[in-house]
Chain A
Amino acid sequence: MTTRATRTKGTARPGSGARPGATTRTSARAAAPRRRGRYGAPAVLLAPFLVLFTACTLVPIGYAVKLSLFTEHRSGLGFGGTETVFTGLGNYTRALQDEAFRDGFLTITQYCLLYIPLMTALALVLALLLDSALVRAKRFFQLALFIPHAVPGIIAALVWMYLYTPGISPVLDVLETLGAQPDPLGHPLPAVVNMALWQWSGYNMVIFYAALQAIPREVLEAAVIDGAGPLRTAIGIKIPLIRPSLAMVGLFTVIGSLQLFTEPMILHNTAPGVTSTWTPNMYAYTAAFERGDYGLAAASSVLLAVVAAGLSFAVTRATRSRSERAREARA
């Protein structure tokens, strides 16, 4: 019988984050037997995830930090192999002093400044349009706008690269007959932003649309009775009410943007502006696989993760204080 086995206290997984004093809060929703000594079943159910999470997330983070503190020195004239030497923050200063690394962050900053407002605006406008009572075929539009997300990033990048290539691209042909001379491969930043817009606008539109649909209808009816038009309702009521979704999308978009890699990697051979260190991730990749400099690669990965953590914290804090302010205003 499993019941007896799960009852024994000894099977509780050690080190599962148990802390005395943190035990008092229990979820109100939990339909749990709150008797003591029945940790066997949760331990068994949580163990696979915790083991994998430790092995594939926590340990690599720790290992990267460790590696980033060491460097390899070639002994003598290059004979007799290498030895590993502790350098403290040496790899970090090397990365930060490298102009290519700093340029990578500059590229990412420009990318974020262009991409995030455009994508959020596009997704939000499409969601509001879809939410308005004026549209038939909502299911079709939702699916059609979402479908680029089902396309692997590498294939989306390939398709757009072909659509940017003169001679292959029907889009450029059409634009040329209209008298325009576009050169997307000469402008890699907007070219990459367009790839990301194509892949993510529909996805985030569905998130916004779901949040809009969850707004209680009475709130909107009250606005209509008060004489607010559709635009007023959208700006004054709908957008403030889906702020948590906007914050979440903003958070994930920032984290995703910092990791920019696949799309520029595809453009790397075709667009002259895209160097092998164009983004921080490409820099880390090049450091590891072209220069064999694992200490530098680890240090730049850690720096990227630290920036991501800092930005996540900033975005979360900014949006939280805003919603708190809103709550105060309502009171």
Chain B
Amino acid sequence: MSENNFKVVNKRLEKIDSLSLACGKPMFCDDIDIKNMLYGKIMFSPYPHAIIKNIDVSKALKVKGVKAVVTYKDVPRIPHTTAGQGYPEPSPYDTYMLDKKVRYVGDRVCAVAAETLEACEEAISKIEIDWEVLEAVFDPFKAMEGKIIIHDEDDSKNIPDAKHNIAAKVPDLVMLKNSEPFSEAEYVVENTYEIPYLQHCAIEPHTTITYLDDYDRLIIRSSTQVPFHVRRIVAQTLNIPLKKIRVIKPRIGGGFGSKQEILLEDICSFLTLKTKRPVKIEYTRKDVFVSSRTRHPAVTKLKTGVKKDGTITDMELDVTLNTGAYGSHALTVLMCSGSHTLPMYKVKNNLKFSGRSVYTNLPVAGAYRGYGATQAFFALESQMDIMAEKIGMDPVEFRKRNYIKLGESSPVFKAMGEGREGVDQSITSIGLMEAIDRGLKEIKWYEKKERYYRLNQKSEVKYGLGMACMMQGSGIAEIDMASATIKMNEDGSFNLLIGATDLGTGSDTILAQIAAETLGVELNDIIVYSSDTDITPFDVGAYASSTTFVSGGAVKKAAGYVRDMIIEDASKILKEPKENLKVESKYVVSKTGKKVSFKEIANTAFYYHDQHQIIASASHYGRTSPPPFAAHFAELSVNTRTGVVDIINYVACVDCGTAINPTLAEGQNDGAVVNGIGHTLSESFEISQNGTVLNANFRRYKILSTKDISEIKSIIIPTYEPEGPYGAKSVSEIGINGPLPAIANAIYDAVKIRLFKAPFTPDKVLKALKESK
């Protein structure tokens, strides 16, 4: 397609901030020194469920250097959600800046601002509290019984069933009913799959600095994925006018969803308003584990029906999510577990989704790369292999036969969006067949299967291969909006102002590539400035895999308008009709051979004639959310003496439409895959009897290191998505959905044991091996 003619898009250009970051430039939130700054520190709850009967901060206030100690009595009580989502947020308004009640070990109790961190810590140690300790509940199924109610306050809003601790629910959603359920199925498979508490582990902890500028406006400098949502929600929770707030996002050290949240900005701002001084709150690594956000632990029940000829007749997915003490993202993650997975395969007769997100007195779950799809694909893709074996069909053929093809649609698209009804769409680009075939070839699937079958007969270490197919979305259709402004400078360079949030993903770079392609210039002719609520136009922020598809769409539009203005001016300068003209390499060239440079056009516009600034803004939102698709292949060994699983080879082939920058797309995929492998083999919270996270540090919650990965290969399968800028779809989330099922399938291939509970640690594997004998 047209990708062969791209000059900037689809090129492996260096990310514009790479070299500066490699030279250690001070670009992150905490890398500035502000005069007169105070340190802020939050006191966290030692109890999983308790009421503050009395809180006495008088001794704390007397500590040298302490400038403020605030409790629930000092702050406005405004129910809100911390979820960084578009307004009106589809999450319950069940959170308060500070409350009289605490609902998990790690919940906010009160906050201190002081000259030094030591003074903060000393002040916190001197706060005296009379607690009424309440009984706590940690298991979602128990919580649903309603004996202990976590949100019994009467001012919270949008909680579907607080009496039974239900933060969100989707009652039986029947999307297809052509027969009596399972009546035509020749085999019925029903299993339950579980994943535990998992944390994003972005290497930069959450950090926020707030201060008042010379106009007494509140400036928030924060490591956030959602600057515009921060502005709105801080205005809401502090009850101050939105126009008094400016949010600036510096470079962020990773987010993966944990920073799609208004976590520190409200309380930090409050301390600044109270003390009239700059305040910095920086989470420790332990705070990040316990008191930021996590993935939703899930119990996923999948019941499917299949016929010998390979037809999937019925599919019933039921998801129970543990949302922790507050319902941030409770509904949307729940819905995505269905909306981003169920369209994957054609189901003949019956398709049903049901689910609920349940409150417990545990750390709060929120947005995490994959967003529900990760949990559900573990179930779906494991079950595809189970069904294939039941009917005696090659699991590769079984998937190829059944996945949704180009031009086809699914009733899921209309029925399930993210938080509300979705948008009907059909598949407008898909490279899954090529992804599967390429992956099979790359990992030498059939050749190795044969070799391992023989080898495994006599070896203590057994080898296996497994695969998984997956999809995600590209932004939230009809909801996510982005905008961009582009202005021309007299040397032919351009300023690109975008609300879009680069969290290390490289969105600044790829959006500049899109602008450069449209304008006929080079990447380094585009000067990018992003994520400043005063200066850049609106963007929902970095989530839902929306930046390339939605923000890219806005940038392409704005660049198109600017290009039109340039051509308009050139037409007057060259005295040629516009139809003859096009942009090329910083010139406007005519069919007739005449040309004029951008420099001359801009100077003419600024200084000489009919003076004006060449500038344009545009907005964009997706009418659809075209899914990226991927096929993953895992080759591993299982040591039957120790239960240790070692990944030998992992191939991830992804169709993301046009990869605006193939190096960055591969990088996103690599990172998502390794993160997913970490989920599969190592990561999980360890929680005590009283709801305390016991392994809240990198020493005990182990993410993978260089020694844990052997061969990881990401392969981009090019397709062209007509709805996306230059054919692009999204890529940043999908990769994390593959490892759990691909590895579960490979383990089954190696040792014929089926694991249903992540992570697949040596003790679990060895136990399953022993029980199977």
Q: Do A and B bind each other?
A: no
Which residues of A are interface residues toward B (Cβ below 8 A)? none
Which residues of B are interface residues toward A (Cβ below 8 A)? none
